[in-house]
Structure 1
């Protein structure tokens, strides 16, 4: 970045927001002020309203038809919708911010809307791509990027606009360890030059602590949203670490509980791959060849750098995309009379055999309410309504979604959407689970509960394929690893 920006002031005065389809306020009565140039880490349990607050400052929550507001949010003393170009934001799901078909055009989009001169736009675009270390040609298709690469693309688009405040909602959630460090360093470099105000929501607290100067912790009580703690990192995480960890906040030195090791060895193979190469486009293999078995009662952890093909391998094993070369074969215990290749099974056959949780929750949300979302699979299997109700109620309780049963799934927080998609996968009681970043967006409490649930399913004989950059998840599941290169 070649020019400084004037850092922005962010202020909430008794502010609240309630989605049009919800009875409960997402946030309410928030009082805080962030001074120009401050670097703030915003923490809180899943569903505490962190993302809603950031979206409010970013001016992206919508109008009266999308929800009800109270109090005031201000950017430099003005409503966010009147502070054009002063706030740049990277949301939890970078797909929602990928607008144009080519990398260069996508990064340039914000600058064009701000009326930046054309020659300067392309200078900014190249500088922003270099800053986030996204090594992609300007004419490369954005659809061809991995999830982690799309996150860097979204960050580059924000940096190119040179805003007075940069808001980041879990910007490293789907990045490999090196990518996490690269993005953090890119943000640090941009802040050092621009002086912009920073607010970042993250569960990887250790990564951001050297960069931030203030920690704000949000919580919820019957009266509204409260600021549980506010101060320097040492004051908040040091003096009150144990208390905050007990409320679900990720605190260094206070790891969540993990399940015990499996009490018995893995069972029989349910699915095997031999000489398997995988691809999203026919004739363009991205990874392989693989020789592997997925066994009953075992977790198989799939690791590797962003863009290596981990998600593509998972979708191929799940029967959702065809193998490029080699074969995927379900053994009789899983196939149960179907053809050996899961890709040739009907949707109904897949429902009770292999369930998939994709990296991006929105890609598999189908219904208008959380309860209906959990009923989709069982209804497709034509189960009796009383049995469907029992299954759904059980999953709502086990995954802390009961209070959200009537909510529109798209109004949930990122962590709540992830728990919903896991619950929907379990509703048909499959023999094999393919989970892509299963703990994305979870607080410490829901992380432990989700990992514990997966471990119990493993111990009951379910085969689990877990694709994750979170080594703690794979360690907790005592997963056998395969690295995708």
Structure 2
């Protein structure tokens, strides 16, 4: 069942002649992880801001759980759709981890007893229980993003959007955030939308939507999208290392049972290959 439906969406920034998004039609399924990818300027971050109610469409409609996005429903939409932004340092408002996770709940007037319970639940679900009294500047980038996700969990949105949320992190921080998202989706049924230009990260999603020059270029499972190969390169995207290596091995006659869209699957496929003397 679709939790988000977008129909005939167009968007143009004020005082700009060029349209940023053109005739976007898409559906986000409940409980799925959907990755929206594209080159810089493809419109993916603008689309994320519209889904979160930070921008309103110039034309077309957006529905979240049956609620149509409009000036009157912006705050209702923002309760349903939470967002984690690119720079974790710009997201902290509390003096400690615990204070920061509680901030959003205080703003919407959640009673203290319930607030304490929600804060503890959010922090536990991202594995940050040992950092309750830590100051934000003492945390790594990955830990900061996990705290930002905990703050969203406490608010209990139906959808979490990560807008390039791993792009400024080192490999360890990126791994921490992706693992947190995978766990939330699997255990809690949270609907996840990740905005990224990193196809290796997108390969972990259930579905990928590719934007190019403000339009939907392709959509499908990671296996279906990576069959496009050089067409993705032509629109400014870099194929993941596992796909590049698999393509070279295929050219040498190696056959894989499944397309190795990420490093773990690549290792699994390589381990299945028969040994030759």
- Structure 2 length as normaliser, TM-score? 0.75
Instruction: Indicate how the Cα distance of structure 1 residues 117 and 205 shifts in structure 2: closer, same or farther if over 3 A, else same.
Output: farther
Match of residue 23 from structure 2: 29
Is residue 2:207 matched to residue 1:228? Answer: no
SS at match of 1:34: strand
Alignment of 1:269-308 (within 5 A): none
Return the match for 1:213 from 183, 196, 206: 206
Return the match for 2:135 from 114, 129, 141: 141
Greater relative contact order, per chain length (Cα 8 Å cut-off, separation 6+): 2
Q: In the alignment, is the contact (CA less than 8 A) between 1:26 and 1:49 conserved in 2?
A: yes
Return the match for 2:183 from 189, 198, 205: 189
Instruction: Indicate how the Cα distance of structure 1 residues 46 and 84 shifts in structure 2: closer, same or farther if over 3 A, else same.
Output: closer
Alignment RMSD? 2.6
Cα drift, residue 116 of structure 1: 3.7
Q: In the alignment, is the contact (CA less than 8 A) between 1:184 and 1:208 conserved in 2?
A: no
Q: In the alignment, is the contact (CA less than 8 A) between 2:32 and 2:185 conserved in 1?
A: no
Deviations 1:454-480 (A, max 9, x none): xxxxxxxxxxxxxxxxxxxxxxxxxxx
Structure 2 unaligned residues grouped into runs of 5+ = 246-277
Deviations 1:434-464 (A, max 9, x none): xxxxxxxxxxxxxxxxxxxxxxxxxxxxxxx
Match of residue 166 from structure 1: 160
Match of residue 239 from structure 2: 251
Match of residue 44 from structure 2: 50
Cα drift, residue 86 of structure 1: 1.1
Instruction: Indicate how the Cα distance of structure 1 residues 193 and 112 shifts in structure 2: closer, same or farther if over 3 A, else same.
Output: farther
Cα drift, residue 100 of structure 1: 3.1
SS at match of 1:163: coil
Q: Distance in 2 between matches of 1:69 and 1:136?
A: 46
Deviations 1:70-102 (A, max 9, x none): 212221122341334211111222344323333
Q: In the alignment, is the contact (CA less than 8 A) between 1:43 and 1:217 conserved in 2?
A: yes
SS at match of 1:14: strand
Cα drift, residue 254 of structure 1: 4.3
Q: Distance in 2 between matches of 1:112 and 1:190?
A: 24
Is residue 2:108 matched to residue 1:120? Answer: no
Instruction: Indicate how the Cα distance of structure 1 residues 55 and 186 shifts in structure 2: closer, same or farther if over 3 A, else same.
Output: same
Instruction: Indicate how the Cα distance of structure 1 residues 228 and 100 shifts in structure 2: closer, same or farther if over 3 A, else same.
Output: same
Return the match for 1:76 from 57, 60, 65: 65
Equivalences, count: 238
Return the match for 2:193 from 190, 199, 208: 199
Cα drift, residue 196 of structure 1: 2.0
Q: Distance in 1 between matches of 2:127 and 2:166?
A: 14
- Structure 1 length as normaliser, TM-score? 0.45
SS at match of 1:9: strand
Alignment of 1:104-115 (within 5 A): 104-115=98-109
Q: Distance in 2 between matches of 1:132 and 1:84?
A: 21
Instruction: Indicate how the Cα distance of structure 1 residues 143 and 228 shifts in structure 2: closer, same or farther if over 3 A, else same.
Output: same
Q: Distance in 2 between matches of 1:25 and 1:98?
A: 33
Match of residue 150 from structure 2: 156
Instruction: Indicate how the Cα distance of structure 1 residues 12 and 245 shifts in structure 2: closer, same or farther if over 3 A, else same.
Output: same
Deviations 1:220-268 (A, max 9, x none): 1xxxx3211111111111x21221122112322349xxxxxxxxxxxxx
Deviations 1:149-177 (A, max 9, x none): 43222222112222111111122222222
Deviations 1:365-412 (A, max 9, x none): xxxxxxxxxxxxxxxxxxxxxxxxxxxxxxxxxxxxxxxxxxxxxxxx
Return the match for 1:242 from 223, 227, 230: 230
Q: In the alignment, is the contact (CA less than 8 A) between 1:8 and 1:196 conserved in 2?
A: no
Q: In the alignment, is the contact (CA less than 8 A) between 1:18 and 1:25 conserved in 2?
A: yes
Larger radius of gyration, structure 1 or 2?
A: 1
Cα drift, residue 14 of structure 1: 1.5
Q: In the alignment, is the contact (CA less than 8 A) between 2:13 and 2:19 conserved in 1?
A: yes
Cα drift, residue 138 of structure 1: 3.4
Q: In the alignment, is the contact (CA less than 8 A) between 2:105 and 2:155 conserved in 1?
A: yes
Q: Distance in 1 between matches of 2:89 and 2:15?
A: 24
Cα drift, residue 56 of structure 1: 0.7
Compare the two structures and name the one with the higher helix fraction. Answer: 2
